[in-house]
A and B are shown apart, each in its own frame.
Chain A
Amino acid sequence: MRLFGIRGGVYPHDRKSLAANAPVAVLALPPLLHIPLQQHIGNPAAPAVRRGQLVAKGELIAHSQGAVSAPVHASTSGRIMGIGSFPAHHPSGLSAPTITLRPDGEDRWHQDIEGVPDPFALEADEIAARVAAAGIVGLGGATFPSAVKLNLRRKYKLHTLVINAAECEPYLTCDDRLMREQAPEVVDGIRIIAHALGVSRVLIGIEANKPEALAAMGEAARPFAEIQVVRLPTRYPMGSEKHLVQALTGQETPARGLTADIGVVVHNGATAFAVHEAIRLGRPLVSRVITVSGGAIARPANLRVPFGTPIQWIIDHCGGFKVEPARLVSGGPMMGQPLPSTRVPTIKGANGILALTAEETRTREPGPCIRCASCVFACPCGLLPLEMANHTRAGNLEGAVKLGLMDCVGCGSCSYVCPAHIPLVRYFNYAKGEMAARGRAKQKQTETKRLAEQRSARIEAIQIAKREAMAARRKAAAATKAPLAAEGPSEHRAEPPSKPRSEARDRAGGDV
């Protein structure tokens, strides 16, 4: 198939060989699972269980809240030990609402769990509802509730489903292993998604550094004419959603828009597998494959991990650290989040745990920018990272926005190639966060202003109404009294003299 060029990008050492040959192993259950209520983009789930309650594997333990949210299910069978706070899978290390579950060791699925024999007989809405109820979110790391994306067909004219199996981040091999070992299941999930979206064409993009996965997926997809497995060049960030769509279809997603604007929906390969499990077997999303790798890990591995498993448990399973790690990362080295501690639990979006040595991170003190333009050539979005960083550093965030700050996907290619080791993408993430905060503050301000204006308008309206009512009453009173006055002129009243009369008097006075 003809591929289309994408701009920029970098060629990091992929270091996939560390874990690529380790088959997916099942991890023993830890003594306690700490299952966070927020493992997705959107509103956190609300607890649906009580302390002390016994739950089965796959049982709902927290409801989704609102249109963009996802429910959370018990990762195994056991007893709910508490609903409270626990350090989150987040760089801040702050605590977040978490349900703690003590496994009973039986790992028993809930009795109501039942699959659908023929998913292709289901209505699209029914598939989306089941995907939503299964708590499936984008497993590439974005964790956007997948059902919301399945419902895009209502608002957009869709023609193509793109499966993002590029796995362009170095080290990570979880999607690679999943596709090698369970290609038929992944393809089945893909077909169910395509059916739900009503698209006629499916493109599965896999980078060339995964020949086994390419072969396995090609074999599994062979019976289905509408599915095409595409070998992508190995270049970071090939797995960036909009760039992947451009490489496969040649079409560029409009800035600030969705790929659906050009008729394309992108799902991740691991998400497709989760959809297969949810529809065919009725199993909600309670575990995922993650890659444990990095130079500091004694035995790199690919593991199917129940959500809520403490990272320390996983690392211990992999033989611990062979050298002191310099950096602990959730996700890949290019965009992954640093983790403050190994206490934190795994979540739906975490596709890798990396323990990197100092030689691997190659951290250095930043030097002065020599305007070498490496960042300009590396940027897949056509931005000028050096200029944006200058504006950000000078505090001129509006200037950075004008240069396209909001079009930055945060891929980190600029920082990766900078010879001066300037942390460019950190400037941009800071600036984006700051601009978002300013936007919220501004919105709050305008909203406050609007409410204040509404209030004063309301008060004024009430006062006008009052005045009018008073005047009307007075008029009415005057009207009822006028005949009385006519009846008895001798009657003295404390009423102000009527105008004509006083005017006559003034005039008379003036004449004197």
Chain B
Amino acid sequence: MSRATPHATPVVAAPHAHAGNSISRTMGLVILALLPATALGLGQFGWPAILLFTLTIGATLATEAMCLRIAGKPLTVNLLDGSALVTGWLLAMSLPPAAPWWIGVLGAVIAIVLGKQVFGGTGQNLFNPAMVARVALLIAFPLEMTTWVTPEPLWSAGARDLQQGLAVTFAGQIPDGMTGATALGQVRTEVGRGVGLDEALAGYSPAAGAMGTISGSLGETSALLLLAGGLMLIWLRVITWHIPAAMLATLALLATVMHWVDPGRYPDAVFHLVSGATLLGAFFIATDLVTSPVSKAGQLIFGAGCGLLVFAIRTWAGYPEGVAFAVLLMNACTPVIDHYVRPRVFGRTRRGDPLEYPEAKP
């Protein structure tokens, strides 16, 4: 076949090779890393959680598809890149497991429409879409967003069946005995009333907090499983260590210092690290590629800012949990950080002038 007429191939500029990675691979790995913590959450909160989770992700994908159709963009390519799936997944993981169905659906619409598509779609949004939805829901529906059920694993004897799960999710019938405060909520209200920390946290075990067999958001409870997933993402080079390390170190440092100042008022670093959305936030939300800075130094600043804000909001502001607020506030800083914090260009000083070697001139 070769000796025929001289060959002609398409003239396309270099490079003529590619690492083979893609957006859908990146998103797929994020989902994979989220799987263990998700499985635990769905298992221990049972049918209501499974229903809410499915519904939220379904609504997210449906909303994305609708927006793409309105924008006239090709459906399959954009849906298959997995970014909407990750958004819906993270949103579902951050919701209270027994929240009513419309919380999930409304959250999905807010995340996709207001959080992402109004900016122009994938890669264009300034704020993390899942956190935009979570904060909007928290402010608009504080009751539904702070009704926490205690774990009731699918495999336990008295677990609710599908029918009871449907009643919780679609009819809002949550049995009174099933609700309770999260550890962070407990500290917030009790210490706010002047009760000592020891008393407020009576019966709290950091080990249970780390394992995740406590009440809390659907997928946020297990610090250890989230840590494992996050480390996997770093190992697979989907994210770098800078944001999580800076965020967790700043939070731990502040908690340690304040705990040392007044152990009766301020919980220690371990409590902060294993409670609430700390680890989900550090490894999966603050590291959202689109909304975080692109330089390593910028990522350290961003992470440290997140840690600082999480601690400040948890300790002194009106909300018991501050990860979503902290990430959104730092998202707003990302363009500024990217503008001022840039890598040094080869052959130039930090200020951008060419390096000088006066001794080399004869």
Contacts and interface: CB of A to CB of B under 8 A. Distances in A.
Nearest to B7: A342
Given A170-B17, A421-B18, A242 B10 contact: no
Contacts of A91: 11, 13
Contacts of A356: 16-17
27 contacts: A7-B343, A13-B17, A252-B347, A255-B345, A255-B354, A257-B347, A316-B3, A327-B10, A328-B9, A333-B14, A334-B14, A337-B14, A339-B11, A342-B6, A360-B16, A363-B12, A364-B18, A368-B121, A370-B122, A371-B292, A372-B26, A383-B345, A415-B14, A419-B23, A419-B25, A420-B22, A425-B14
A341 interface: yes
Main secondary structure on B side of the interface with A: loop
Which 5 A-B residue pairs are closest in the complex by CB-CB distance? A320-B2, A255-B347, A412-B15, A373-B294, A362-B18
B357 A254 contact: yes
B157 interface: no
A343 B346 contact: no
B345 A263 contact: no
Interface string B341-358: 011111110000011110
Contact of A361 (B18, B344, B346): B18
Contacts of B70: none
A149 B106 CA distance: 68
Given A252-B355, A255-B345, A382-B343, A369 B15 contact: no
Given A254-B347, A255-B346, A381-B345, A329 B16 contact: yes
B14 A382 contact: no
B76 to A, nearest CB: 12
A320 B3 contact: yes
Interface residues of A, number: 87
Interface of B: 1-3, 6-23, 25-26, 77, 81, 83, 121-124, 240, 289-292, 294-296, 338, 342-348, 354-357, 359-362
A156 interface: yes
B25 A156 contact: no
A442 to B, nearest CB: 22
Contacts of A369: 123
A218 interface: no
Interface string A368-398: 1111111011011111101100000000000
B346 A381 contact: yes
Contacts of A404: 345, 348
Contacts of A328: 7, 9
A156 B360 contact: yes
Nearest to A92: B11
A242 B346 contact: yes
Interface in A381-439: 381-384, 386-387, 404, 407, 412, 415-417, 419-421, 423, 425-426, 429
Contacts of A363: 12, 18
A374 B10 CA distance: 28
Contacts of A260: 360
A380 B16 contact: no
B7 A382 contact: no
B16 A415 contact: no
A370 B357 contact: no
A374 B344 CA distance: 16
Nearest to A159: B360
B289 A340 contact: no
B17 A333 contact: yes
A315 to B, nearest CB: 6
A209 interface: no
Interface string A142-174: 000000000000011100000000000010000
A262 interface: yes
Contacts of B14: 329, 333-338, 412, 415, 425
Contact of A371 (B2, B289, B354): B289
Contact of A380 (B18, B344, B346, B360): B346
Q: Which of A242, A254, A262, A412 has the most CB of B within 10 A?
A: A254
A457 to B, nearest CB: 36
A371 B15 contact: no
A162 B77 CA distance: 48
Contacts of A242: 346-347
A293 to B, nearest CB: 12
B288 to A, nearest CB: 9
Contact of B12 (A320, A327, A360, A429): A327
B295 A373 contact: yes
A325 interface: yes
Contacts of B338: 384, 387
